[in-house]
Amino acid sequence: MPELPEVETVRRGLEPAMVGARLTKVVQRRPDLRFPFPDRFVERLEGQEVTALGRRAKYLLADLSSGEVLIMHLGMSGRFLVSQSGKSVMPGEFHHEHGGLGAHDHVIFGLSNGATVTYNDARRFGFMDLVPRSEIETCRHFSGMGIEPLGNELSGETIARLFAGKRTPLKAALLDQRLIAGLGNIYVCEALFRTGLHPEAPAGSLATAKGRPTEKADQLAGVIREVLAEAVEAGGSTLRDHAQVDGSLGYFQHSFRVYDREGGACVTPGCTGTVIRLVQSGRSTFYCPQCQAAPQGSARRRAG
């Protein structure tokens, strides 16, 4: 599943083609994706102008002149192809496996500026919905969702407030979308490594007895922003099914310092440690046992 930087990369690629344009023709080729399309989906879209294209966590949000918001989630394999003036901005060489199969082109948006935006999703784990802008924060998709990690709210103080008293492993707390929305497995591993925090450390250890942020809490907030910003700038990790909206591959995967490097030497200068993989809640965690000191009394479980 794409993480926040991948979704932000797609948003930036779609924005020039969609914002300010009117949806002149919408083709819906099936009744559902992961969930059924909303009632009168095509009718509610056609004729509307896309006034803004935003992102909330891992969701794309297209504001419409009708006052509704088109919510789009990529699922595991969803992608967009932008075509204009007979040219596609997704190179032919990226049309491998399912990516370029017309059978998986489920929604086609025709725009007043001559562009065509096609949503392709082989596994159909993505979905689209329409929600009034006034109800966006209380709708089923976002009700109870945590703060944005790239927003102004993320700080050491916020982390301390959210994590105070929690014995939950730090990595699990960071992945809890009710606390911080949009963080995924890859970038949490990278942020913890850069901060020197063990993934099994109690989340509450980032708050003092009085609930104030520790030095590591302040550092972690900055590192999370740094890692995500670097990934967005590089075009996301583009693992497996995902590429930038123009089809080119991002390069942040070449900058992973710890993720997916099990058995590799730690990249920290002077460190002689070896990257270890352990399983947390069924997901792989990568860390350096020397740079990221184990919390006292933790029960580490190596992945088999």
Closest CA to 119 of 38, 201, 14, 227: 14
Q: How many CB atoms lie within 10 A of CB 85?
A: 6
Distance separating alpha carbons of residues 208 and 217, to the nearest angstrom: 10
The tokens describing 133, both together, are 């802008």
Separation CA 203–CA 172 (nearest Å)? 8
Instruction: State yes or no: 25 annotated in a binding site.
Output: no
Distance, CA of 54 to CA of 151 (rounded, Å): 13
Which residues fall within 8 angstroms of residue 71, CB to CB, at 6 or more apart? 59, 60, 61, 128, 129, 130, 131, 139, 141
Cα angle: 291, vertex 297, 300; to 5 degrees: 60
**297 DSSP assignment:** T
Catalytic residues: 2-3, 58, 283
Looking only at Cα atoms, what is the longest distance across the chain?
63
Beta strands in the chain (DSSP E): 23-28, 50-56, 59-64, 68-73, 79-84, 87-88, 105-111, 116-120, 127-132, 276-280, 283-287
Is residue 123 part of an annotated ligand binding site? yes
Give one word for 199, left, alpha or beta, with left for phi > 0 and alpha for psi -120 to 50: alpha
Closest-CA residue to 7 (of 78, 67, 103):
78
187 neighbors 221 (Cβ within 8 angstroms): no
Mark the binding-site residues for DNA, compressed into ranges.
Answer: 104, 123, 166
Which residues are annotated as part of the binding site?
104, 123, 166
